[in-house]
Structure formats: structure tokens, C-alpha cells
Structure 1
Amino acid sequence: MRTLGVDLAAATKKTAAAVIEWSDDRARLAHLSLDVDDQEIVDLFGSCDMTGVDCPVGWPDALVPFLTGHLNFDAGPVLAHDGIAGRRLLAYRDTDRFCTAQTGLIPLSVSADRLAHPAMRCAVIQAKIAAVHGPQLRDGSGRLAEVYPAASLKIWGLNGRGYKGRGVPEAERLGILLAALEEQAPWLDLGGHRDRITASDDLFDAVIASLTARAAARRRTLLPDEAHASAARSEGWIHLPSCGLDVLPG
């Protein structure tokens, strides 16, 4: 199996990709790239069995009628979201609320925060993938799954707090975090890329996204139940690992 992890930015700059090859009880980081364009993502997707993308693959269901109502001067669907509680339904998806309940982490809003621009690019990339490889269901039941590296790290017991913040130099923070990952996953061969990973949180997140893609491929993530299934198909679904790192190989 080959898994692709993509840390998607709004533009080519700072977009990272990581491909991990899995065999028996081992795994090897076979490809690592930064400043990745759309075509490379489409090409890598085609060569991999499962892709985990660190970016929302859809928008809240409530957002479309709200915007359509505003466009057509139809007050009903707009006033339905009067007040902060109503606006939260426009800002956060079902999967975002599920993620918060499971991990305590609050994903950025795809419609009201810094993720909006990357999500637009993600939609375009999904269309490009569909043109070559067929449409990929947004709930992750195909070959494309939405992932959230910070949540994966927390579930796996790795202290990811602050590795993108200020204080200790980034390389030192990432070095400590990567060392903890290597200790928990001695079966993972970084393929000589350790120094590059400790120098870029984008590359690090791409690696975590690829590891999470493995969990998604093996159905070792928290899948949407009947109450969440409909929204997951349209809005997308964040795949949170339901297993430890030790379960991924083999």
C-alpha cells in the first residue's frame, strides 16, 4: 500500500506532500516534497491507494441556502440563522463539532476563518482528480479522506501543542516531536528526510496526514454513524484515528 498525505495551503507555496510505502511490518517515507502544485497532487493521488488531505473537503450544509437566500432577497433562510447559535451552523460542519467532542480541539471554520481560501483550492483539486480518476466521496469511503494532523497527534499521545507557535525555535520543537513519533513508531523509516522534516512544520504535517491516511484505508478511524452519515457525504468528514500507531503497519 502507498498512502499520500497532503498539507494543503491556499497556493503552491507551503503546500507539502508525503508518500509512505507500507510492506509487512515496516513503512518507508518514499517521497517528500514542498511547494507542491495541483498537478503533482493529482499525479501522486493516482499512484497511491489512499490520500489524506489536511483541508476541509466541503462546506456546512446550512451555508448554501443562507447564501442563496441572501442573493435572492429571500429573508426566510437568512433569518433562520439569526443569533450566534444560528451563525455557528454556518461556520462549522457536523464533523467539526464531532471532532471537538472527541478531542477537545476546535477546527478552524471553513467558511469564516483562514481555511476558506485553501478549501476553495481543495475543491478545484477534487474536480481535477475526478476528471482523471473519478469522483471521490467526501466522507472518505473512497480513496480521499479529510484528516486533521493536530487531532491525530493528540489521539496518538504526541504532544503537538506549540510546534507551530513561538518560543522555542521551530527546528527544536519539531525535532522533539519527531523524536517522540520515532519512539512510538520504530517501524517507520524516514528515508533520510529527518532534517527536512524538522525544518518545516508543513512537511511534518504531510507525514502525519499520510500516517492518518493509512488508518483511514484500514478503516481504523472514527466513521460517521447514522446520525452523521448524511452530512458527512455532503460536508466532508474528518478521519480521527481509532487505533494507536502500533496498529498501522502489518
Structure 2
Amino acid sequence: MRTLGVDLAAASKKTAAAVIEWYLDSQGKGRATLAHLALDVDDEAIVDLFGTSDMTGVDCPVGWPDALIPFLTGHLDNVAAPVLEHDGIAGRRLLAYRDTDRFCTAQTGLIPLSVSADRLAHPAMRCAVIQAKIAALHGPQSRDGSGRLAEVYPAASLKIWGLNGRGYKGRGSTETERLGVLLEALREQAPWLDLAGHEAQLAASDDLFDAVVASLTARAVARRRTLLPDEAHARAARSEGWIHLPSCGLSGLPD
């Protein structure tokens, strides 16, 4: 199995991709090797890597809140009712956050950035274009992650795996030090993962590190070891997207 993890930015710069190959060693034990690691990745490279991978985890929203479309259409057409439904802060939260965002917060305590009311909207627009390019070559991928593309959230994966993923993003010396500590903790908890000499690159780039975590989470998705939407969330997951949270520890990935 090959899993692709993509830490998606608004443009190629700071977009990272990581491919992990999973296999059994001569003793029948599960192992994994970081087979590809790249920074400043463009759309075409992502689509190509998707084509050679069994499962892709993308760190970016793959859809928008269902409530947002009628709200914007009502505003455009000067129809008051669908706009006034979202009067007040509670109503506006339905426009800013998806079902999966609220589910993620309930499970982990983390609050994902809003795809419609934060800077995350720009990468999400790029993600929509990439999804269309993938669909043209490989067929449409369900936004709930039931196909070969799934939305992931590295910060949540790290927290579930018991790794301290706070304060490692940035270019300062403190952030770099924390990233190095986090990388070492990952290596200790996942001795079956061969980073193939990329340790220095990973310790110097939170984007590359997040891509690796996204690829690890993609493995959990492929093995059906993530929290799936129940009946109450299933419809929204198909249209808005679904953040796949691991339901197993790191030790459960190579099995």
C-alpha cells in the first residue's frame, strides 16, 4: 500500500507532499518507509501522486458548510428568508463551521479553522480545483473519505496519538526546537517507520512534517481505523466533507 499525505497551502509554495510505502518484512511484521518527500508542490504533482497512491489524506477542507450556499444565494437574489435564518452569532456559526468541525471539537477539544470565515478559504478553493482535476482523470472522490481521498487534520491526529503538537509551527528557534522534539517523539512511538534519511528536512519544516502525519492518517483511513460519520452526520459528510480522526494508536497502523 502507498499512502499520500498533502499539507495544502494556497499556492505551490509551502505545499508539502509525503508518500509512505507499507509492507511486511521477512518476519511478517508491518513496516513502512517514507518513499517520497517534497516541498513547493504544484497541482499537477499532487494529481500524479494521487494516481500512484492507494489513499490520499489532504490537510485542507474538501467542502463548505451546507448552510452557506442558500445564505449566499439569498443575499445575491435579495431574498431575505434564507439570510435572516442566520441572524445572530449562533446562526453565523452554522455558516462558518461544518458538522465535521463541530464533531472534531467534541472529540478532541481542537477547533478547526473556518473554511468560510478564515484564511483557510483560499487553500480550500485550490483544493476544490485539485478535486476537479482528480475527478477528470480518476473519477470523482466522495468528500466523506469513502473513496481514495480523505480530509485529515494533523493536529488532531497528533493529539489522539498522545504527541504534543502545540507550538511547533513557525520559523523561530523555539518552534524549530519543539518540532525537533516532536519528530523524535514520533520516531520513538513508530519504530517501524523508516524516514529514509529525511530527518533533517522534517526537523526544519513543519509543512513537511504535517505531510508525513497526513500520510500516516491516510493509512488509518485506508484500514478503516478512523471515526466515521454516523447516520446523523452522514448526509452532511458527503457534501461538506469529513475530517478523519484516527481510532487507533500509531502502533495499530502497520498491522
Shift of residue 169, structure 1, vs aligned partner: 3.1
Tell me the residue number matched to 1:48: 53
Superposition TM-score, scaled by structure 2 size: 0.97
Taking every aligned residue pair, what percent have the same amino acid on both sides?
Answer: 86
Measure, in 2, the Cα distance between the counterparts of 1:50 and 1:191: 21
Tell me the residue number matched to 2:7: 7
Shift of residue 20, structure 1, vs aligned partner: 0.1
Instruction: Give RMSD over aligned pairs.
Output: 0.9
Matched, 1:28 2:33: yes
Superposition TM-score, scaled by structure 1 size: 0.99
1:87-124 Cα offsets, whole Å, 9 max, x none, are 00000000000000000000000000010000000000
2:96 aligned to which of 91, 104, 107 = 91
Contact 1:139 1:145 in 2 (8 A): yes
Measure, in 1, the Cα distance between the counterparts of 2:96 and 2:175: 31
Q: How does 1:63-82 map to 2 (within 5 A)?
A: 63-82=68-87
1:128 aligned to which of 128, 133, 146 = 133
1:19-61 Cα offsets, whole Å, 9 max, x none, are 0000021000000000000000000000000000000000000
Comparing 168-177 with 147-156, greater Cα deviation is found at: 168-177
Partner amino acid, structure 2, of 1:14? K
Contact 2:168 2:176 in 1 (8 A): no
Matched, 1:137 2:142: yes
Shift of residue 165, structure 1, vs aligned partner: 5.1
SS class of match (2:17) = strand
Tell me the residue number matched to 1:153: 158
Report the count of equivalent residues: 250
1:60 aligned to which of 62, 65, 76 = 65
Contact 1:170 1:199 in 2 (8 A): no
1:148-191 Cα offsets, whole Å, 9 max, x none, are 00000000000011111586433321110000000000000001
